[in-house]
Structure 1
Amino acid sequence: MSTQNDEPAIAQHFKKFNDLKVRWDANTLFVESNGLPDHNMMVGIRSWQQQVPLPQPFTGNNAWQIPLYPKLADTPISAKDNLYRGAIALAVNGVPIFNALNNRGDDAFLAGELDEFGGHCGRGDDYHYHVAPVHLEKIVGPGNPIAFALDGFPIYGLTEADGSPVGKLDEFNGQFDPQGRYHYHATTTYPYINGGMRGVVTVRGDQIEPQPRDSPLRPALQPLRGATITDFKATKEQSVLTYRLRGQTGTVTYSPVDSETWKFIYKEPDGKTRTETYKRRARQDDRRGGGPPPPRPNDRRPPRRG
């Protein structure tokens, strides 16, 4: 393990966010987070599968791993037809970034699945982005990356460091700088973020490995057709998500009982209320000693059309 005097340059980009912890060895930066941003979440989602943001244990052996010395791949991997499972990048605020296409091969942004910051929650109640978190540019400053792809190459915002327009990008939203260093850029149209992996990665089960596992608390729910999320308020003691469905209001209120148990109160738009208590399930790698979990049935995407 390196000493603090050997701190890799990319560590500083994550250190701007107080809730993150970083460590490193000779080849890898490890980033620990709970997966939650300091901005509001979920508001504006029009296609909702009833997930809510819960903290995730992306710590210890389940931390994010970013290669310190990325290498260009002989055969890059396009996100148009691959990498439909798991994250493909990590924002510098510790929030993972998934493929811009959902597990059905549809553009998540155009499908109305994302909030005002380009994120939503997965089936494990894990918050993540599907488009570039360009709001982070105001925090990190011009010329600094807003994320790192899991191949180790940085992702910058919508302009060059001097504010000039970005030059021609390849199919992965990437380019080489004058010094010959490769990097990705955000765009306002597909693929929004890195459009795949220009660098060397290991892929198993259509997912980049290694990467952390979410830790599901509740059973995965079904889409609530016609619902729009109108408000979300969160404190350490309680979170309340408010939605509208057919002109009526419903809420999901939830709070921690202890570190592994949460209480949920569901107030349906018709006025009915029910209370559930859930205990966090062990992660797949905890139960079986490592390796990626098998895809959930709905994660198996159908053949692409066209």
Structure 2
Amino acid sequence: MASAQPTIAIVGRGLVGARVAQHVMSQNIPVIAVSRDRVVEAYGADVVVLAHRNPHAALASTLMGQGSSVVSVGGGLDDTMDMLALHERAVAAGHSMIVGAACSPGASGLLLHYMLDMFDTVDEVHLAVHGTGGPQCARAHHDGLAGVAVGWHDGEWFKRPGGSGRELCWFPDPVNARDCYRFETPEPVLMLRVEPSLRRISARTSATRRDRLTARLPMLLPPHAEGGIGALRVEVRGTKDGIRHVEICGMAERIASIAASVAAHTALAILKSPVAPGVHVLGESSLPNAEILNALVAGGLTLHQFVGS
């Protein structure tokens, strides 16, 4: 049973977990911060944020059975698919699970939802991310370039090798232009859930030549404690007033800070106003997306919008 005083538990004590705790405590909400091997101490919390290394699906299922709603920052493709498959489990438990509540995925879904009102119809989304957070995020970036990238093209799924499909993408200052490549990510799957009318979806990450050449080898150097300023951009295409229309929004900040802010404010939002039991994705109409995005901005993140032609 959930405690009488609302609590949020955080599993994982890395960069993201620590910053989630800071955000939550700033709202005077009790926090239970535990490592993965002491997760039993999180049982019964109203909301549990999973901020440790993948996989998350099995633990999320257990936590819902113990009476908690779950917010996952995980971004692995296979693990995300396993979490999406827990919908009936979540409904039966009477709790909700928010999948991919980080930067990419996570903030990307919020930006897509934000831009939908700028169109009459939408049919394409193309997103790109630059940078990594802590060591686990750096390892995920390394593995993603060696994985299998999925995309959505004219209503059909396709697969391409990670590290292929170079495209020059412009990010908000100070990141600016970066060469980006396909990588293994659940983003296309989640974006299609947000807007089923989409006909084309792609996702890329920035990478250097060394990143690509060494992607299928063990990491040559230990990952850094934290990356520098990262960035996210989401490009939406569709129609407005009968003509083709394009909007691009993004943000530039340390990736771990974006991820922590998204996860924390998602947890706070569903603690305040619980959503229907089941599995949800940021950007879907079942979630208070505008409230979460506004909280990100109020907390210091800046939205950038491309203006030009």
User: Normalising by structure 1, what TM-score?
Assistant: 0.28
Bigger relative contact order (CA 8 A; separation at least 6): 2
User: Normalising by structure 2, what TM-score?
Assistant: 0.28
